[in-house]
Every structure is written in structure tokens, then in C-alpha cells.
Structure 1
């Protein structure tokens, strides 16, 4: 799986076939197909691995931030998602290839399995602290994840990613300003 992640992360899903992955991994195609029934199944496992790493990185970033309130932690998580999404491997595998290879529903399922829990937790903590008005947490989490994922995709496909990132970051912060009462 690490060979597939490295190759697809560098060149994209369509540019790398299973023979090259098997060779890079030092296994036969038969051995690879024993673990993964097809290229798409291997890709799903790779994307899930990347998503798990992304969530770990976000958790570490929030813990290392100066956030002392739930609202500040939510802001740190949102801003750090935009930073993590610029990682070339995350950009290629999660933002560019996953929606196409897994289909929209498959991509959404994976993304939400990994991000929904953390997002709901941060929103719930902000509500309990009085920094966010009480509302349906799951619905709000879905809307916020949708906005953040779209923001990352806009940056990933921009002609001028640096300026686009600055613009998108400003919009996300203003969105959070409108939602949060502090932090």
C-alpha cells in the first residue's frame, strides 16, 4: 500500500498502473491482488490511510495551537485543514483523484467517516461553552465540512494557489466569525 500511496501521490491514479505498483512494492501482481481485489480497492485503502493521517495531523495542529477555547480550536482546525490540503500527496489523492475514482458518494463517505467525528466534537464543545448557538450539530458539521472541502478543492485547482488560499482563508474566517461568539 505504501508504494501505491507514494506513486499515486506523486503522479496521480490514472498515471500509475498495478504492474508498476507491484514492482515498486517488490511483490507480484498476484500477491497484490490477493490483498486487494482490484486497483480501485487498493486506491480506497490508500485514501483511507491518507485521511487517517490528515486527521492525526489536524489533531496535533489543534493541540499545538494557542487555542484556549473551543471556538479557537475550531478555527485552528479549519485553518490547518487548508494548510494540510496543500500537501502535494493530500492534494493529489484526496482532492483531485478521490472524487473521480471513488465517485462523489464514495469520496463523501470516506471524507465524512474521518472528519465528521472531530468536527461534531469541536462544534459541540463550542456550543457547551456558549461560543456557538445551539443547533443541530450533525447538520452543521456536514455544512461546515462541505464548505471546508470545497475551499480546499478551489485552492487545489487554482491557477494562483497562493492568492486563492489567502482569499479562501479570509472567507472561511468570516464564515466562522458569523457563527462563533468568541475565539
Structure 2
């Protein structure tokens, strides 16, 4: 019994250390950018040892990737929370589109996922992260429209990729100070036009 209690304590301590590193890294990556953030700065902010960092992560890049995966998962969770099985496929796709922009409005998220992410990890790796999260929800939303499409499909990867790029540009514009309501309306209009052949 004593060993089990100690095991839980050690596990909790390990999880807390990892969480502290990820949170400290996220803050510093947003404030300073990836290139200007050093591992000594991260461990100092997290209040852990340098050895603890390398116990959990291979290097700074590995830690950065973990930060991005958590951000991407948060975006997908926000999209999922905005939709429900009671919605039609069209309603869910439109609600998810707005939820994406709302999720990307979290301070620093656009820098992490849309600016530093591709620059540090490269297009293939960042695309894989996106495909497992927000891009997956978009693809699923498009695929849900197929049953009523009369044989016409708009679910090709190219369409999802192009819509995703439009969403990203809208998120960057909002981050830069553009009117969020204007870009939400523009995104909804774009989605409506793209799905019109199968949703009409």
C-alpha cells in the first residue's frame, strides 16, 4: 500500500514537471519567439532542473512540438464543443468554422501554430499536426455532406486544404487587428459558397 501511494505521488510529480515545462515554454515562445527562447530560460521559468527538461523532451524542438500539439488539440476541442449530433452537417460545418476563429483568438496561438510552427517544424510536420486536429474536423464536416450530394463530391483533400488556408489567413488578419466580425462573416460566406452544390 505504501509503495502504491509513493508511486502515485511520483507520477503526479512527473506530470506536474512536464506540465510546468510546457507552460513555461509556451509563454516564452509567445513572448520571445522560438529562436530567442533558450532552454535555460525555460527551466528557470518552470522552476525545474535542466536535467528534468531532457528527461521529458529530447531537445527544445521536441518541447516546441509538444506545445503545438496541445494548442492544436485545444482548437479541435473548441470546434467539437461548438457542434453537436443534433445539428445538420451544414450547421455543424458553419459552427465549426466560427469556433475555429474563436479558438485561434487565444493570445499567442496564431504565432505558435501559423507562424513559428511551420518555420521551425517544416510544412510536412505542421501539416501532420493540423491533420490530426482542426483539419480533421474540417474534412469530417465536408464528408458529412456527401450523402445528400447526389454523387457530387467536394470532399477532396484539395478543397479542405484550401478552406483551411482561408481560415488561417482570417485568423492571422484578426490577430493583426482586423475586425473579427467582418472576417467571421467572410469565412461563413466562403463556406456557404463552397458547399452550396451539395448542401442546397
TM-score, normalization by structure 1: 0.82
- Do the aligned residues in 2 keep the contact of 1:4 with 1:21 (CA within 8 Å)? yes
| Count of residue correspondences | 177
Gaps of 5+ in 1: none
- 1:111-131, Cα deviation, whole Å (9 max, x unpaired): 223223222211111222449
Gaps of 5+ in 2: 1-21
Q: Which residue of 2 aligns with 1:37?
A: 58
Out of 168, 180, 183, the residue aligned to residue 195 of structure 2 is 180
Over 3 Å counting, the alpha-carbon distance change for 1:32 and 1:180 in structure 2 is same
- Do the aligned residues in 2 keep the contact of 1:131 with 1:180 (CA within 8 Å)? no
Q: Which residue of 1 aligns with 2:76?
A: 55
Q: Which residue of 2 aligns with 1:4?
A: 25
Over 3 Å counting, the alpha-carbon distance change for 1:180 and 1:136 in structure 2 is closer
* CA drift at 1:52: 0.9
Q: Please identify the structure whose Cα radius of gyration is greater.
A: 2
Q: Which residue of 1 aligns with 2:12?
A: none
- Do the aligned residues in 2 keep the contact of 1:132 with 1:180 (CA within 8 Å)? no
Greater length-normalized contact order (CA 8 Å, ≥ 6 residues apart): 1
Q: Which residue of 2 aligns with 1:127?
A: 146
Q: Any residues of structure 2 matched to 1:136-155 within 5 Å, and which?
A: 136-155=155-174
- Do the aligned residues in 2 keep the contact of 1:73 with 1:122 (CA within 8 Å)? yes
Out of 161, 166, 175, the residue aligned to residue 181 of structure 2 is 166
Over 3 Å counting, the alpha-carbon distance change for 1:38 and 1:127 in structure 2 is same
Q: Which residue of 1 aligns with 2:123?
A: 104
- 1:90-121, Cα deviation, whole Å (9 max, x unpaired): 12321332122223333223222322322221
- Aligned partners of 2:116 and 2:66: how far apart in 1? 13
TM-score, normalization by structure 2: 0.75
Q: Any residues of structure 2 matched to 1:56-95 within 5 Å, and which?
A: 56-63=77-84, 68-95=87-114
- 1:109-158, Cα deviation, whole Å (9 max, x unpaired): 322232232222111112224499423433322222122122222332x2
- Do the aligned residues in 1 keep the contact of 2:94 with 2:188 (CA within 8 Å)? yes
* CA drift at 1:41: 1.2
- Aligned partners of 2:172 and 2:122: how far apart in 1? 15
1:63 is paired with a residue of what secondary structure? coil
